[in-house]
């Protein structure tokens, strides 16, 4: 698979096989990073209202001069805006900040089961898709139980589930669930954030064997697992390098060895309890 081979979604649309993550990239730094990502070949940019950088992403997109139809822009609904009417308003506000007529993918950022409004929120997502303000709809940080409920109550299966995933937390069960439902798994913190993942001697050995970096090995692992990684970096060299993962493959033995790194321990929030307001 190469970077330009799109991933098919269950709603008939398609999505690039890798995207640029933008968490913590705000202001001018955010504009610069997204500009560099677009120049390096990324066509999917992942933002969220909670990241406070939709404006920066919108500026970089506008300044790139790239045709809108060649780009795939994702944003996410924050916790404060769960609920039917507030979701409709929040989406319009996101589009205004992004300076776009539509987003390619709109995600519920977290399920917030204590608040218990994610089904109503999902109904609003379905309406937004019908209105053409969003092209595809999905969720983030949802478990099988949350998704089962959406499907039971609305009959609409999310196109995407974006979850924390990296070799330390490989998400085998959630990925199997997503696959069975025809949902594409996207990985946030694909490089394991500030953990010790990138200094693993095992990964260094595999990287040497392919003459690539450890970061590239980890991102390639996501692709081999059938997931779509969303790496972020503020540095142009790493931004470009992270996109360049489509001309080598990992062997079955290497994948098995990487599998031994799993600790089944999250670095980020637990979907059943995490609250973001």
The footprint of ligand A2P on this chain (CB under 6 A) covers a number of residues equal to 17
Q: How many residues does the chain have?
A: 277
Q: Shortest approach of ligand A2P to residue 75 CB, angstroms?
A: 18
Q: Shortest approach of ligand A2P to residue 218 CB, angstroms?
A: 8
> Toward ligand A2P, which CB reaches closer, 37 or 95?
37
In the list 70, 173, 234, 269, the residue contacting ligand A2P (rule: CB under 6 A) is 234
Containing H/E element for 89? helix 84-98
Kindly give the pairing relationship between strand 7-8 and strand 14-15: antiparallel
Contact residues for 71 (Cβ-Cβ < 8 A; gap 6+): 43, 44, 45, 61, 104
Residue nearest to ligand A2P (CB): 215
Q: Which of residues 65-84 bind ligand A2P (CB under 6 A)?
A: none
Strands (DSSP E) contained in the chain are 7-8, 14-15, 20-21, 44-46, 72-77, 103-108, 134-140, 160-164, 184-188, 228-229
Q: Is 113 in the site for ligand A2P (CB under 6 A)?
A: no
Q: Is 42 exposed, middle or buried (0-12, 13-18, 19+ CB in 10 A)?
A: buried
> Toward ligand A2P, which CB reaches closer, 151 or 234?
234
In the list 16, 21, 78, 167, the residue contacting ligand A2P (rule: CB under 6 A) is 21
Strands (DSSP E) contained in 84-208 are 103-108, 134-140, 160-164, 184-188
Q: Which of residues 173-232 bind ligand A2P (CB under 6 A)?
A: 189-193, 198, 213, 215, 231-232
Distance CA 106, CA 153 (A): 19
Q: Which of residues 238-257 bind ligand A2P (CB under 6 A)?
A: 238, 241-242
Q: Which of residues 114-153 bind ligand A2P (CB under 6 A)?
A: none
Candidates 70, 2, 60, 7; CA nearest to 30 is 60
* Alpha-carbon torsion (130, 134, 135, 140), positive or negative: negative
Which region, left, alpha or beta, applies to residue 184 given φ > 0 means left and ψ of -120 to 50 means alpha?
beta
> Toward ligand A2P, which CB reaches closer, 13 or 210?
210
Binding window for ligand A2P (CB under 6 A); candidates: 11-19, 122-130, 148-156, 236-244: 236-244
> Toward ligand A2P, which CB reaches closer, 22 or 87?
22
Candidates 277, 271, 262, 276; CA nearest to 113 is 271
> Toward ligand A2P, which CB reaches closer, 113 or 192?
192
As annotated, the active-site residues are 51
Contact residues: ligand A2P, CB under 6 A: 21, 189-193, 198, 213, 215, 231-235, 238, 241-242
């Amino acid at each position: 698979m190469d970077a330009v081979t799109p991933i098919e979604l269950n709603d008939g649309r398609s999505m690039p096989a890798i995207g640029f993550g933008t968490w913590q990239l705000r202001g001018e730094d955010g504009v610069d990073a997204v500009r560099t990502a677009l120049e390096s070949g990324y066509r999917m940019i992942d933002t969220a209202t909670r990241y406070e950088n939709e404006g920066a992403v919108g500026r970089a997109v506008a300044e790139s001069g790239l045709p809108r139809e060649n780009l795939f822009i994702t944003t996410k609904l924050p916790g404060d805006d769960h609920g039917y009417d507030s979701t409709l308003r929040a989406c319009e506000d996101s589009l205004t900040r992004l300076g776009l007529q539509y987003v390619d993918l709109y995600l519920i950022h977290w399920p917030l089961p204590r608040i218990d409004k994610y089904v109503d929120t999902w109904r609003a997502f379905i309406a937004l898709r019908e209105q053409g303000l969003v092209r595809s709809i999905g969720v983030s940080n949802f478990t099988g139980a949350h998704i089962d409920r959406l499907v039971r109550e609305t009959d609409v299966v999310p196109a995407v589930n974006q979850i924390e995933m990296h070799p330390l937390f490989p998400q085998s069960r959630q990925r199997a669930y997503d696959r069975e439902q025809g949902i594409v798994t996207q990985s946030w913190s694909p490089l394991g954030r500030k953990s010790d993942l990138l200094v693993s001697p095992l990964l260094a050995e595999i990287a040497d064997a392919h003459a690539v970096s450890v970061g590239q090995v980890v991102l390639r692992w996501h692709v081999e697992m059938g997931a779509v990684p969303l790496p972020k970096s503020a540095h142009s060299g790493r931004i470009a390098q992270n996109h360049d993962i489509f001309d080598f493959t990992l062997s079955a033995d290497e994948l098995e060895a990487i599998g031994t790194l799993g600790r089944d321990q999250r670095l980020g929030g637990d979907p059943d309890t995490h609250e973001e307001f």
